[in-house]
Chain A
Amino acid sequence: MCDLMMMSSSDSNSDSEEEESLSEGEMAQLLEEVEEKKKLIATIRNKPWRMKRRLVDLKEAQEFVDKFEGALGKGKGRKWFAYKVMMKKKWIKFQRDFENFRTACIPWERKIKDVESHFGSSVASYFIFLRWMYGMNLVLFGFTFGLVVIPEVLMGLPYGSIPRKTVPTPDQDTAQDYSVLMDFNGYCKYSVLFYGYYNNQRTIGLLKFRLPLSYLMVGIGTFGYSLMVVIRTMAKNADVGGGDGDEGEFTFAWKMFTSWDYLIGNSETADNKYASITTSFKESIVDEQENQKDENIHLRRFLRVMANFLITCSLGGSGYLIYFVVKRSQEFANRTDLSWYEKNELELIMSLLGLVCPPLFETIAELEDYHPRIALKWQLGRIFALFLGNLYTFLFALFDEVNTKLEQEDSIKNASIWAMKEYYANYTLMLNGTDSPIPPMDPGDVIRGPCWETAVGIEFVKLTVSDIQVSYLTILIGDFARAVIVRFLNYCWCWDLEAGFPSYGEFDISGNVLGLVFNQGMIWMGAFYAPGLVGINVLRLLSSMYYQCWAVMATNVPHERVFKASKSNNFYMGLLLLILFLSLLPVVFTIMTLPPSFDCGPFSGKVKMFDVIMETIDLDLPAFLGTLFSYAANPGLIIPAVLLMVLAIYYLNSVSEAYQHANMELKKKMQMTRDEEKNRRNNTDSTNQVMKDLEDLLPNRSLMPPAPPPQPVKKPEPEAKPTKTRPGTAGKGVNLQRDVTLASPNPNARGPVSRPPGPRGHGPPPGAGPGRGRGRGRGAPPR
Chain B
Amino acid sequence: MGSRASTLLREEEIEEIKKETGFSHSQITRLYSRFTSLDKGENGTLSREDFQRIPELAINPLGDRIINAFFPEAEDQVNFRGFMRTLAHFRPIEDNDKSKNVAVSEPLNSRTNKLLFAFRLYDLDRDDKISRDELLQVLRMMVGVNISDEQLGSIADRTIQEADTNGDNSISFSEFIKVLEKVDVEQKMSIRFLH
Q: In the complex, are the beta carbons of B103 and A2 less than 8 A apart?
A: yes
Q: In the complex, are the beta carbons of B116 and A253 less than 8 A apart?
A: no
Give chain A residues whose Cβ lies under 8 Å from the Cβ of B142: 256, 259-260, 274, 277
Q: In the complex, are the beta carbons of A258 and B180 less than 8 A apart?
A: yes
CB distance from A113 to the nearest CB of B (A): 11
Q: In the complex, are the beta carbons of B100 and A780 less than 8 A apart?
A: no
Contact of B162 among A251, A266, A681, A736 (CB under 8 A): A251
Q: In the complex, are the beta carbons of A736 and B128 less than 8 A apart?
A: yes
Rounded to whole angstroms, the CA-CA distance of A783 and B79 in the bound complex is 12
Q: CB of B36 within 8 A of chain A?
A: no
Rounded to whole angstroms, the CA-CA distance of A103 and B56 in the bound complex is 24
Contact of B116 among A103, A252, A773 (CB under 8 A): A773
Tell me whether chain A's interface is mostly helix, strand or loop, or mixed. helix
Q: CB of A759 within 8 A of chain B?
A: no
Which residues, 539 to 592 on A, are CB-close (under 8 Å) to B? none
Q: Mark B51-83, 1 if CB is under 8 A from A, else 0.
A: 000011001111000000101110100000110
Contact of B128 among A674, A725, A732 (CB under 8 A): A732
Give chain A residues whose Cβ lies under 8 Å from the Cβ of B163: 250, 253
Contact of A245 among B99, B139, B173, B182 (CB under 8 A): B182
Q: CB of B45 within 8 A of chain A?
A: no
Q: In the complex, are the beta carbons of B162 and A249 less than 8 A apart?
A: yes
Q: CB of B47 within 8 A of chain A?
A: no
Q: In the complex, are the beta carbons of A16 and B155 less than 8 A apart?
A: no
Give chain B residues whose Cβ lies under 8 Å from the Cβ of A263: 56
Give chain A residues whose Cβ lies under 8 Å from the Cβ of B138: 256
Give chain A residues whose Cβ lies under 8 Å from the Cβ of B144: 274, 278
CB distance from B67 to the nearest CB of A (A): 14
**Given A9-B101, A240-B184, A773-B116, are A257 and B25 also a contact pair (CB < 8 Å)?**
no
Q: Mark A1-34, 1 if CB is under 8 A from B, else 0.
A: 0100110010011001111000000000000000
Find the A residue at minimum CB distance from B61.
A260
Q: In the complex, are the beta carbons of B139 and A256 less than 8 A apart?
A: yes
Contact of A262 among B56, B101, B116, B194 (CB under 8 A): B56
CB distance from A783 to the nearest CB of B (A): 8
Q: In the complex, are the beta carbons of A12 and B96 less than 8 A apart?
A: yes
Q: CB of B165 within 8 A of chain A?
A: yes
Q: In the complex, are the beta carbons of A6 and B101 less than 8 A apart?
A: yes
Which residues, 82 to 110 on B, are CB-close (under 8 Å) to A? 82, 85, 94, 96, 99-106, 108, 110
Contact of A265 among B55, B113, B195 (CB under 8 A): B55
CB distance from B121 to the nearest CB of A (A): 10
**Given A12-B96, A773-B113, are A267 and B59 also a contact pair (CB < 8 Å)?**
yes
CB distance from A587 to the nearest CB of B (A): 39
Find the A residue at minimum CB distance from B20.
A783
CB distance from B66 to the nearest CB of A (A): 9
Find the A residue at minimum CB distance from B62.
A260
Rounded to whole angstroms, the CA-CA distance of A253 and B165 in the bound complex is 13
Q: CB of A71 within 8 A of chain B?
A: no
Which residues, 701 to 744 on A, are CB-close (under 8 Å) to B? 708-709, 712, 722-726, 728-730, 732-733, 736-737
Q: In the complex, are the beta carbons of B116 and A729 less than 8 A apart?
A: yes
Q: In the complex, are the beta carbons of B135 and A256 less than 8 A apart?
A: yes
Give chain A residues whose Cβ lies under 8 Å from the Cβ of B174: 723, 725, 729-730, 733
Contact of A674 among B104, B165, B194 (CB under 8 A): B165
Q: CB of B159 within 8 A of chain A?
A: yes
Q: In the complex, are the beta carbons of B165 and A722 less than 8 A apart?
A: yes
By size class, the interface of chain B is 35 or more
Rounded to whole angstroms, the CA-CA distance of A733 and B116 in the bound complex is 13
Q: In the complex, are the beta carbons of B143 and A278 less than 8 A apart?
A: yes
Rounded to whole angstroms, the CA-CA distance of A769 and B112 in the bound complex is 11
Which residues, 153 to 195 on B, are CB-close (under 8 Å) to A? 154-155, 158-159, 162-163, 165-168, 172-174, 177-184, 188, 194-195
Give chain A residues whose Cβ lies under 8 Å from the Cβ of B177: 724-725, 729
Q: CB of B31 within 8 A of chain A?
A: no
Contact of A726 among B106, B158, B162 (CB under 8 A): B106
Contact of B173 among A240, A262, A732 (CB under 8 A): A732
CB distance from B112 to the nearest CB of A (A): 6
Q: In the complex, are the beta carbons of B61 and A16 less than 8 A apart?
A: no
Give chain B residues whose Cβ lies under 8 Å from the Cβ of A253: 159, 162-163, 179
Rounded to whole angstroms, the CA-CA distance of A678 and B188 in the bound complex is 30
Give chain A residues whose Cβ lies under 8 Å from the Cβ of B6: none
Q: In the complex, are the beta carbons of B166 and A103 less than 8 A apart?
A: no
Rounded to whole angstroms, the CA-CA distance of A251 and B158 in the bound complex is 9
Contact of A264 among B56, B85, B120, B155 (CB under 8 A): B56
Rounded to whole angstroms, the CA-CA distance of A267 and B182 in the bound complex is 30
Find the A residue at minimum CB distance from B54.
A265
Q: In the complex, are the beta carbons of A9 and B100 less than 8 A apart?
A: yes
Q: CB of B118 within 8 A of chain A?
A: yes
CB distance from B56 to the nearest CB of A (A): 4
Rounded to whole angstroms, the CA-CA distance of A777 and B89 in the bound complex is 11
Q: CB of A243 within 8 A of chain B?
A: yes
Q: CB of B3 within 8 A of chain A?
A: no
Q: Mark A81-116, 1 if CB is under 8 A from B, else 0.
A: 000000000000000100110011000000000000
Q: In the complex, are the beta carbons of A777 and B56 less than 8 A apart?
A: no
Q: CB of A502 within 8 A of chain B?
A: no
Q: CB of B147 within 8 A of chain A?
A: yes
Give chain B residues whose Cβ lies under 8 Å from the Cβ of A208: none
Rounded to whole angstroms, the CA-CA distance of A262 and B121 in the bound complex is 14
Give chain B residues whose Cβ lies under 8 Å from the Cβ of A262: 56, 60
Q: CB of A52 within 8 A of chain B?
A: no
Contact of A777 among B102, B120, B179 (CB under 8 A): B120
Q: CB of B33 within 8 A of chain A?
A: no
Give chain B residues whose Cβ lies under 8 Å from the Cβ of A285: 151, 154-155
Give chain B residues whose Cβ lies under 8 Å from the Cβ of A768: 105
Give chain A residues whose Cβ lies under 8 Å from the Cβ of B195: 96, 99-100, 103
Rounded to whole angstroms, the CA-CA distance of A186 and B180 in the bound complex is 65
Q: CB of A776 within 8 A of chain B?
A: yes
Contact of B71 among A117, A712, A779 (CB under 8 A): A779
Rounded to whole angstroms, the CA-CA distance of A733 and B195 in the bound complex is 37
Rounded to whole angstroms, the CA-CA distance of A728 and B116 in the bound complex is 12
Give chain A residues whose Cβ lies under 8 Å from the Cβ of B62: 260
Q: Mark A573-617, 1 if CB is under 8 A from B, else 0.
A: 000000000000000000000000000000000000000000000
Rounded to whole angstroms, the CA-CA distance of A259 and B159 in the bound complex is 14
Rounded to whole angstroms, the CA-CA distance of A149 and B128 in the bound complex is 69
Find the A residue at minimum CB distance from B74.
A779
**Given A252-B155, A733-B174, are A257 and B180 also a contact pair (CB < 8 Å)?**
yes
Q: In the complex, are the beta carbons of A712 and B55 less than 8 A apart?
A: no
Rounded to whole angstroms, the CA-CA distance of A240 and B188 in the bound complex is 12
Binding site for A on B (CB under 8 A): 16, 20, 24-26, 55-56, 59-62, 69, 71-73, 75, 81-82, 85, 94, 96, 99-106, 108, 110, 112-113, 116-118, 120, 122, 126, 128, 135, 138-139, 142-144, 146-147, 151, 154-155, 158-159, 162-163, 165-168, 172-174, 177-184, 188, 194-195
7 pairs from A and B in contact (CB 8 Å cutoff) = A6-B101, A256-B138, A256-B139, A725-B177, A772-B105, A777-B69, A777-B120
A sample of 7 more A-B contacts (CB under 8 A), given A100-B26, A245-B182, A724-B177, is A253-B159, A274-B144, A282-B147, A674-B165, A725-B112, A733-B172, A782-B82
Sorted nearest first, the 10 A-B pairs with minimum C-beta distance are A779-B72, A270-B59, A103-B194, A681-B167, A265-B55, A265-B56, A278-B146, A252-B159, A733-B174, A253-B179
Binding site for B on A (CB under 8 A): 2, 5-6, 9, 12-13, 16-19, 96, 99-100, 103-104, 117, 240, 243, 245, 249-254, 256-260, 262-267, 270, 274-275, 277-278, 281-282, 285, 674, 677-678, 681, 708-709, 712, 722-726, 728-730, 732-733, 736-737, 765, 768-769, 772-773, 776-780, 782-783
